Amino acid sequence: MEEQEKILDFVEEKVFKDGISRTTMGDLAADMGISKKTIYKFFPSKDELVTAIAKRFMGRIRTNIETTLDINNNAVEKLSYLILTVGKIVSKVGDSWIKDIQKCYPNLWQEIDSFRSKMIMENLTKVIEQGKAEGLLEDHPTPIIMTIYLASVQAVIQPNFVINNNFSMKEAVQHTFKIIMNGILTDKGKNIFKQTVLE
């Protein structure tokens, strides 16, 4: 298992930076100084290797989100910590990787898109309700807030928008979050938000 994790660590770092479409299993083996047979022992195909990397990445995001939202803070601080956490994680992912996944692995991209939608709806809804109860968020209907946020994520935090508008994924995440937050915070909430590192 340790050898498998080492392979995933190495390949993840490489393909997140350079993309996967033009990288062969032979290239990866040569870069790691191991045989292709060693990679194939754990990952019988390139598709399975790519899927393993994506699923591990999603698992890491899930763990970080759940840990962040489990802290005993007010809703604005939780949301700020959350976006910092997600921003740090996605900043490791290059445009080439995302574009390759969307183009070459559409089913996997659909799974990733569904995952992020589910994580947003399941986790942010609780924090939005907490913020309204604390008087930090305006009492707009939560389903509308969540739908606006989800639609923004799907429109902005995706390969074509980021590449065509010269943003990094981290910048896209933070700008989207700030705009939405400033639209739903009460004055009390805005004062707390101004004290976070996102402002």
Closest CA to 85 of 118, 101, 62, 109: 62
Give the lowest-confidence range in 3-7, 84-88, 144-148: 84-88
Is residue 151 within 8 Å of 175, Cβ to Cβ? no
Question: For residues 101-123, b (16+ Cβ closer than 10 Å) or e, as one string?
Answer: bbeebeebbebbeebbeebbeeb
Overall pTM > 0.85 = no
Stronger pLDDT, 99 or 104, i.e. the higher one: 104
Closest CA to 86 of 71, 68, 99: 68
- Mean pLDDT score, 139-159: 84
CA pair distance 45, 135, nearest whole angstrom: 52
H-state helical runs in the chain: 2-18, 25-32, 36-42, 46-69, 75-90, 95-104, 106-119, 125-133, 142-156, 159-164, 169-184, 187-194
CB-CB neighbours of 144 under 10 Å:
10
CA pair distance 77, 106, nearest whole angstrom: 35
Query: What pLDDT shows up at residue 198?
Result: 60
Mean pLDDT of the chain: 86
- Mean pLDDT score, 165-176: 81
> Does 170 score more than 80 pLDDT?
no
Confidence of residue 42 (pLDDT cuts 50, 70, 90): very high
Listed in sequence order, the residues at least 6 apart from 134 whose beta carbon sits closer than 8 Å to its beta carbon are: 74, 75
Q: Which two tokens stand for residue 113?
A: 């898109």
> Does 27 score more than 60 pLDDT?
yes
> Does 199 score more than 70 pLDDT?
no
For domain 58-194, the CATH architecture is Orthogonal Bundle (1.10)
> Does 196 score more than 90 pLDDT?
no
> Does 91 score more than 80 pLDDT?
no
- pLDDT for 151-164, tens place per residue? 887 788 776 787 78
Query: What pLDDT shows up at residue 88?
Result: 76
